[in-house]
Amino acid sequence: MVSRIPARLAGALLLGAVPVTGALAQQPAAVGITRQDVERGVTVDSRQRRDYDPLGVRLGGFVLNGAVDIGPGFDSNLQGTKNNRKSDGFVDEAVTLKLDSDWTTHALGAFANMDARQYFSNSGFDWTDWELGGYGRYDFNAFSSLEGRYRHIRDHLDVFSPDVQTAGVTRPVPYSSDEFQLNGNTRFNRVGLFGNGYYRTFRYDDFTVNGIRNTVSQNDFDTVAGVIGTNYAFDEGRFATLQFRVQDVSYTQTISHPRDSFTWAVLTGFRYDFDGVWQANVNIGYQERTFKGPGIKPLSGPAVDAQVTWAPTLLTTVRFNVARTIEESIRQNAVSYTRTYGGISVDHEFRRNLIFGGQFRIDYREYPSPNETALDGVFIASARYLLNRSMSLLGTYSYIQRFQATGGFEEFDRNLIQLRLRIAL
């Protein structure tokens, strides 16, 4: 699911930026550092906190984990508009359940998630998202496995999305989706092979606002995608990669068949652990999308998918990411658009049970016909306080601003404040 750092915090982050060896020498006993905490690839977010992590419930060879979140919030701009703004308070609720096998080989599991929001005075902007699914993995040996996954999704497109706004829709756009995945990988000495098959449906809900019927369902489509690739291991944690991706998009209604498309992409790169402090997964290549309709101009250009992780200390993790993709649009006068997005995020373990987070990202969308663009920026500051194994508090402040827009896009800013109490198994 679409599933967010004040001066004092920035000062704390800078004070924490000391060499890893120094952090270890200063306070191993105070923070309870173990060998698992300093293994390569362990981040602030993924680190186990044995005094605060929920234990879950053991059911034979399975472990059940779950949590309930609830709390209030405030939204300063419900519609993402520059003028005639609507603001309102709301209540969020979330439920997560996950059942995973605890076997030494193979795996089996199921999951269910729900996330909902109800506004106090503007119920037309309420939404309820949920998903339900399961997975199974068969391990042939230590280097080869085959995994299948399925999930049914109920989600929505946010009203402040450029794609939704220029489609003339003034409410969140709900949709349902079924997703099937098949993943496989194997290795022959230093050479690895991997593949992924993917099928997903998108079914949008029609709705009426102020007497006007929004027939969003004419954008219903099915998509089939696949990835095959190989990698070469220079050393442990250091790989060169090459992959080929394809995607077919087929619309369900006859009126939208000219929007059917086929996309291919070739990317090469590396997945590299430089020294335990810097790690990177970088793929760069070329992509092209052609359409069934003869009057629709193809989209092509660079394809990028890159993530870099920096751990300046044991208590701080910094991530950089950037991606460039071609995505579907629900606008009537635009079929697809090129999206370039990326940013930086920081997680800092101020105390063993107090984690601060900060994030800044940009989202740039280019529509070829008509020629329009939109540039959004998002800043998020968060604090997570772990009370005990079962309870935690999460406070989040988000600021969204459209820095630049052309055509029918509207510039705006938005403040979002949230506070949640989590109770976990």
CATH value of 7-55+133-424 in 2.60.40, 2.40.350, 3.40.50, 2.40.170: 2.40.170
Residues near 374 by Cβ (< 8 Å), separated by ≥ 6? Answer: 162, 364, 365, 402, 404, 405, 406, 409
Between the CA of residue 12 and those of 5, 8, 230, 387, what are the distances in Å?
10, 6, 42, 21
The Cα 344–Cα 377 span in angstroms is 12
Give the count of beta carbons closer than 10 Å to the beta carbon of residue 342. Answer: 17
* 259: helix, strand or coil: helix
pLDDT at 41: 75
pLDDT at 165: 72
The Cα 288–Cα 266 span in angstroms is 10
Q: Phi, psi at residue 124, to the nearest 5°?
A: -65, -15
Provide the H-helix boundaries in 234-370.
Answer: none
Q: Are 354 and 383 in contact (CB under 8 A)?
A: yes
The Cα 114–Cα 94 span in angstroms is 5
What is the DSSP code (8-state) at residue 290? E
The Cα 376–Cα 362 span in angstroms is 6
* 157: helix, strand or coil: strand
The Cα 63–Cα 101 span in angstroms is 6
The Cα 300–Cα 294 span in angstroms is 16
pLDDT at 164: 77
Q: Which residues pair with 180 in a beta bridge?
A: 150, 199
The Cα 206–Cα 49 span in angstroms is 46
Closest-CA residue to 172 (of 265, 310, 79, 82): 79
Q: Where are the domains of the chain?
A: 7-55+133-424
Chunked mean pLDDT (size 10), the chain, 425 residues: 37 37 38 64 84 91 96 91 88 97 96 96 93 97 95 91 72 92 95 96 83 79 96 92 96 89 96 91 96 88 95 93 92 84 96 95 87 90 95 96 77 92 95
Q: How do strand 336-351 and strand 212-214 relate by DSSP bridges?
A: unpaired
pLDDT at 359: 96
pLDDT at 37: 66
H helix count then E strand count, the chain: 4, 21
